[in-house]
Every structure is written in C-alpha cells, then in structure tokens.
Amino acid sequence: IRSLADGNLDVEVEVRGGDEVGRLGRAFNDMTRRLAEAREMATASQTAVENERAYLAIILGRLSTGVVSLETDWRIRTANQAAGSILGFDVEKCIGRPLLEIARENPMLEQFVDVGRRHIMSGDLEWREQVVLKAEVGRRVLMCACSALKSEAGGTSGYVVVFDDITALLQAQRDAAWGDVARWRRRR
C-alpha cells in the first residue's frame, strides 16, 4: 500500500480464495489497474494538448497578421511576433503583463488599446474596424477584428484581437488611382 501511496500503480496484491478478503484483493487490483489506465489516458491527453499548443505556436509565429489574446483584465495571454512588430512591443517580455501598462510606454500601442477598450466598455465584444494610428514616422492603418473567448460556463474568458497593417496596401491603391487619373488626363 505504501508503494501505491508513492504513485506506483503496478502494485498487485496476491489473491487467494473466494472469501471477502479475496474479493477485496481482486477489487484492489482492479482499482489500481483502472487508476493506471486513467493516468496513461491523462498523460496521453496532456501530450496531445502540448502538441496542439506547439503546432498553434508555429502557425501563429509564421503569420504576418498580428494576433493577441487577452484575459478579461487585459493581461496578455499570448501574442505572436507579428503583433509585436506591428505595434512596437517585445512580445517575449510582455506575456502575462497588462496591456494597459505596456501601452503607457508606447503611444501607438496606447491608441490601439483605446480603440479596443472603447468597444469592450460599450459591450461590443465582437467588432471589426479600420484603425488609424499616428506613429513617429507617419501613420499606420490597421484592419482589426476582435472576438470574445467563451468560458466553459458560457461567460467571457478573454478576447482575441487579430489585425493586419494595411498601410502599404492603401498607399498602393492610392498610387494606382492617381496613375489612372494621370492616364485619363493624358488621353484628353
């Protein structure tokens, strides 16, 4: 029994006879076998979850789209490198820290947070918006989308914000439009 208490589930008692002691021994052996199977299943499930988490981290790491997941108190749960590059913060150092605290150190990030807080505080937990951020070297335009993460109890357990820097795309569209205007003027 001490071996079992120490976590050894391979313990088996010798069973003799069909009396109450024998039945108790068989029940004990059955219990330890089921506990060992349950521990194997839990270990396999944990391994599967860790593999999925690693797979998701690889996918998020290769995206050019910024992804940040937040707790309901706005602590950063996860963020990919693209999020840090677009918004100008060190992802590695910021996991677990409140986004509001980090934003005080970064004016562009502060503008981004203000937009999200405005939506969340008004009860708008699912939103999509084009956001213009004023940066030291001009402006950045982000296409942002936010979704609430649901808890098992049905409430909100946090938020995930996905965003793309579309500044260069918009500039290319403007350049193409001006090119069309120039071609039209030459034809006249």
Confidence category of residue 118, pLDDT binned at 50, 70, 90: very high
Predicted confidence (pLDDT) at residue 1 exceeds the cutoff of 70: no
Tokens of 21: 């002691």
Mean pLDDT taken over the chain: 87
Predicted confidence (pLDDT) at residue 114 exceeds the cutoff of 70: yes
Query: Burial of 105 by CB count in 10 Å (0-12 exposed, 13-18 middle, 19+ buried)?
Result: exposed
Longest dimension (CA), the chain: 108
